[in-house]
Amino acid sequence: KATVSVLYWHSNRVKMSLGMERALTFSYVKQLPRTTLEEVKQQEAVYDRQVLLNEPWSNYCLRIGRADRVPEEPHRDKWLTETWDEWEERKRAQPGVIDTFFSDLKRKETADAGQQKQNDEKTAEILEDMSEAEKQRKKKLLPVLHTLLLDFEEKRKTEDEEVRKQLEDEETAERNYFMKEYTLGMDLTAELWDKGIQDIELFLQEKKEAEEAAERAKEAEQSRLDAERQERETREQEEAKRAEEERIDQEKKRVQQDKDRKAAERKARVMAERDKRKSKEELAASRRDSRRRSSAKLLDQVSIKDKRREEARLLRLKRQENDMDEYLVQLRTRVDNCKTEDMLRELLGKVAPELGLLLFDCAVYIAVLDGPSLCFRYASDNCSNVLRAGKETFAIPDHPNAPTVLAIKEKETIHLKDPLKTNEEGIVRVGTKEDGGFGDFLTTPIYNSAGEVAAMLNADTVNNLNQQQTNLIESEEDCYAFDTALPAVPISPDMVTFFEAVANLLSQAYVNGMTPDVQQATSVPELFSRVTKAVSDFGPGINCYLATLTRPHGDVLTVVAQNGYTVGQEAPENFGPHNNVLTKTLSDKEAQSFNMKPAEGSYEYIENVKDAANAKCYVPEDKRNNFLYLFPVLVNFKSGLAVISVLGVEGDAQYPLKEAQIQQILDLVGQLGERRNPLLKMRMKRMYAMQCVQWCSALSGCSHVYMSLKRNVVRETKSEDMEYVAATPPQSWVVGQVLPQGEGITPSLLSGNEVKHYQDVTKEPAMKYLGDGEVNDGQLVAMPVGSLGVLFMDTVQWTQGKRNFTDADLAMVTSAASLLSTLLVEVDEGNVDEIGSEEVRLKIEDDISPSCVRFLKKVWLHTLASLNSMKKEELLEMAKYNKPPEAIPPVCAAAFIVMGKKPKVVSTWEKTRRCIKYPVLKKMAEFDPTTSKPAKAFFIRAKKMTKGLTVDYVAKKGSKPTSVFYHWTYAAVQLRYAATNLRKLQANGMLDFTEEVAEEKEETVTELNSSVGDALTEVDEDEMEEGEEGDDGEDGEEEDDS
């Protein structure tokens, strides 16, 4: 009995499960029996039915590939007992049901009208028969024997007729009322139906008109683009012609100016030599006259030794006059070569000793302005030991009347005649504490690029102090060592002019050395560092930072450089009173930085940040009494100028920037905007080359893939030598090496422009090996990248992995090189921020920039073209295999997992083949791998399923559709990892600081053979479970349209 009860219970549960035609929770499904195979199948059928009954509208739209219906029809209701497919079928059948209803109604009306007509005719016949019978009855009555005034029979008849007429009138009134109501209802129904039909026709008409308008707009836009391109080409030709004419005119003018300059120099040189000879002759005559007049007196008063010293002194003064002119010429050349701050400091350190040797009567020392102090950093050898140590300081506020301080305030040269003897007011001794001494003093300012005093050039002839100037005459002819110092001579007007000329040249050196040469920056980080460092050096307490937008008109600003430091460098926690804001972000749209006008030469000035409502801080609650200047960095797009970055300068509100400093910053910002695009272009080219190398290595399974490009393609040079710019990890040693023009096999490759397959590199005499050691035999595939470079794959020094190349490898390399060649030309022709204008738009392009994944986008479009050209018969042929070739199951399963299928849905070929249906091609074409769905675990699982497969293996062990699925899967995986890394770089402010957005870790050859840009080799189990159980996966099957 127990057994019978159990069986009865199971049969009831099965019957119950078969009757589950309404949406229920899955807990009911789990209660169904699973003791026999039939019950398991029955439970799975019920489970699949419940999945479809509980499926939400948005998920259904995504499943059938109609995601566009979600925003258009956001709310939909259905019966609990029907699926969305049945709901769609019911909606499609609804117009037919309505038409059937109205046709049946019309037939019923016609039948009722006929029946009513028959009833009326029958009623008339009955009444006529009744009237005839009445007449016959009356005839049979006895005749009236007497005459009365009232005929009762006629009265009864009349009364009967009145009653019947009243009843007929009431019946007619009721019938008319019901017919009126029925007519009104039918009219209303017809009106609603007509209105619905009109609305549908109006909607279809508006949709058609919108599509036609969009098509017309597209054609107009294409026409406009063609016209603009033609106009641009014409304008470029005219500009090139005009530039050539201007160059010829400039060359002619330069030649004429050189002739005029040389003629003027010759004339000036002749006049100078004539004046010099004349002055020498006059000086000699004067000296002869003076010697004649005072010869007797000198013989009495001057000893022979003093006479020789005086003659030596005069001889040295004479040489000094010539040396000053020659020194200015030499110093001008050195100033022109001073390009950096270190070179400036080195120049200042050499000028002071050189002037001390040149002007033997003068001690020369240079004081650098450092906030409220003067620091005596550089001194000649005849200065005191204290000055030569370079640590002596002078507080400016403590000595407002000192000559040097007055020279700084007035910005002029001050020359004092023997100030120690005359006790000039404000004289301060620096470098010695001894009293006494006599001689002149000179100080003249050295200016920076902003026109402000940066340093002071000082000289004096004060002697006999701390052995100053005691060695001036030891090397002179006819002089004796250890003689006492000569009496100090005054600083002559010629020497004053000479010192001022030296100060002017050193001012130019300050401009050259302290102003960053933006054009010399070789990378974007160096460019940002130079600009922010130069502005922060304007004075103490100046803070300069550069914040960039991820894209034009973006909504987040990220600080990427501050006071010479960039993201990724080790920077101090604070910059004086200012916080370190590197990598900090600002997204408050009310901030002034987001409301900058894209106009050249414009900037915003906030007098006090603490009181300004539109001043927002990167560090919360960090408002201080600072001024703030905001300078927009502009980039010229096709649509016009746009702000791409903002340069911020802040400091103490009591000391705002001067007009000359603001103008210098505007010049730097303008150069930064102009220089950014060429640097990004070179970075993009190297990045695309690396993506191409990784792509070829992954598909071919070859671990030795590398690329060389002409140096004038990736660097600002005219050299056409070949530089190796990208390589896989085992071949990374070749990156940076240069092959001189004309060497190796590269010239023949570039001239032929076709792929070459060398079976044995040791048999090629023109082959040049750049590595160390002997070359082993091996194969080499070389494909020109247009006329710009060459893509290589080889098996030289082979240890494991691919050994021989196949036709599939050659076709893949040819395709990759062609895509890269087209892309490099696009980079040269356009702005890096605007590259990419296809109809297929990836989310990462809108989130960050279309340029970062441009090569991968080209590969993706190429793959989609192959996908769209696939025929239905070719696709469905794969599903017919009972025992498919080895490559088909893992490739197809990986493709479906990338699209969100759970691994258990494609765990066997029998399950996988059910998913191979023609609508899946449309879903693959509309798939965007750069979104956040499906989860990362799906891509990791897909990558591991295709581990070890190569393009030639898939072509050999699969079919044409399998190869397309294989390329599509790898392109999707590459794009997902690239998008993930790009978003991480964007969050860290490193987007403009790297060349590899899909960089992979250096792994084994096997891993390299199966991964493109994959930095993960092991799957986190929790993440995989989350990916499998998430909403991104689908375990249902698509409806077969066959």
> Which pLDDT belongs to residue 486?
46
> Which pLDDT belongs to residue 1007?
32
* Digit-coded pLDDT (tens) for 993-1033: 665 444 444 333 333 233 233 322 233 344 444 444 333 33
Give 294 or 545, the one with higher predicted confidence: 545
Does 383 score more than 50 pLDDT?
yes
> Which pLDDT belongs to residue 539?
72
Give 318 or 396, the one with higher predicted confidence: 396
Q: Average pLDDT of 782-804?
A: 81
* Digit-coded pLDDT (tens) for 245-280: 888 888 778 777 877 777 777 777 777 777 777 777
Under the banding of pLDDT at 50, 70 and 90, the label for residue 837 is: low
Under the banding of pLDDT at 50, 70 and 90, the label for residue 707 is: very high
DSSP summary character for residue 255: H
Q: Average pLDDT of 739-751?
A: 86
Tokens in use for 787?
Answer: 């006329």
> Which pLDDT belongs to residue 142?
57
Does 211 score more than 60 pLDDT?
yes
* Digit-coded pLDDT (tens) for 714-731: 888 888 899 999 999 888
* Interior/surface letters 683-692, b for 16+ CB within 10 angstroms, e for the rest: bbbbbbbbbb
Under the banding of pLDDT at 50, 70 and 90, the label for residue 627 is: confident
Mean pLDDT is lowest, of 83-92, 235-244, 965-974, 998-1007, for 998-1007
To 5 degrees, how large is the angle CA 920–CA 921–CA 924?
Answer: 85
Q: Average pLDDT of 849-867?
A: 83
Does residue 716 come out as left (phi exceeding 0), alpha (psi in the -120 to 50 range) or beta?
beta
Mean pLDDT is lowest, of 276-290, 354-368, 439-453, 560-574, for 276-290
Q: 3-class SS at 983?
A: helix
What's the burial of 636, exposed, middle or buried (CB within 10 Å: 0-12/13-18/19+)?
A: middle
Rounded Cα distance between 598 and 673, Å, is: 12
Rounded Cα distance between 897 and 900, Å, is: 5
> Which pLDDT belongs to residue 445?
93
> Which pLDDT belongs to residue 974?
86
> Which pLDDT belongs to residue 992?
64
CB contact at 8 A, 706 and 728: yes
> Which pLDDT belongs to residue 989?
66
> Which pLDDT belongs to residue 231?
86
Looking up tokens 């109006």 gives 202
Under the banding of pLDDT at 50, 70 and 90, the label for residue 317 is: low
Rounded Cα distance between 667 and 695, Å, is: 42
Edge-first strand order for the sheet with 789-794 is 738-739, 722-727, 705-710, 789-794, 780-785, 756-758
Tokens in use for 633?
Answer: 């960095």
> Which pLDDT belongs to residue 292?
59
> Which pLDDT belongs to residue 1039?
36
Mean pLDDT is lowest, of 189-198, 417-426, 659-668, 684-693, for 417-426
> Which pLDDT belongs to residue 709?
92
Rounded Cα distance between 448 and 514, Å, is: 8
CB contact at 8 A, 904 and 1035: yes
Does 107 score more than 70 pLDDT?
yes
Tokens in use for 967?
Answer: 């390329």
Rounded Cα distance between 1016 and 977, Å, is: 10
> Which pLDDT belongs to residue 555?
77
> Which pLDDT belongs to residue 621?
64
CB contact at 8 A, 733 and 707: no
> Which pLDDT belongs to residue 545?
92
* Digit-coded pLDDT (tens) for 935-955: 878 888 888 888 878 888 888
Does 17 score more than 60 pLDDT?
no
> Which pLDDT belongs to residue 1029?
38
Q: DSSP string covering 138-202, please?
A: HHHSPPPSS--S--HHHHHHHHHHHHHHHHHHHHHHHHHHHHHHHHHHHHHHHHHHHHHHHHHHH
Nearest to 528 by CA among 566, 554, 570, 478: 566
Q: How far is CA 586 from the centre of its chain?
A: 17
* Digit-coded pLDDT (tens) for 54-63: 888 888 888 8
Tokens in use for 984?
Answer: 């991480």
* Interior/surface letters 249-261, b for 16+ CB within 10 angstroms, e for the rest: eeeeeeeeeeeee
> Which pLDDT belongs to residue 454?
87
pLDDT mean across residues, the chain: 78
Under the banding of pLDDT at 50, 70 and 90, the label for residue 313 is: low
* H or E stretch at 223: helix 152-301
Does 967 score more than 50 pLDDT?
yes
- Helix and strand element counts for the chain (H, E): 29, 21
Highest mean pLDDT among 142-156, 607-621, 702-716 belongs to: 702-716
Q: Average pLDDT of 526-555?
A: 82
Rounded Cα distance between 727 and 705, Å, is: 6
Highest mean pLDDT among 153-162, 431-440, 814-823, 850-859 belongs to: 814-823
> Which pLDDT belongs to residue 838?
59
Tell me the torsion sign for CA atoms 863, 864, 868, 871.
positive
Rounded Cα distance between 127 and 121, Å, is: 10
Tokens in use for 304?
Answer: 């022979």
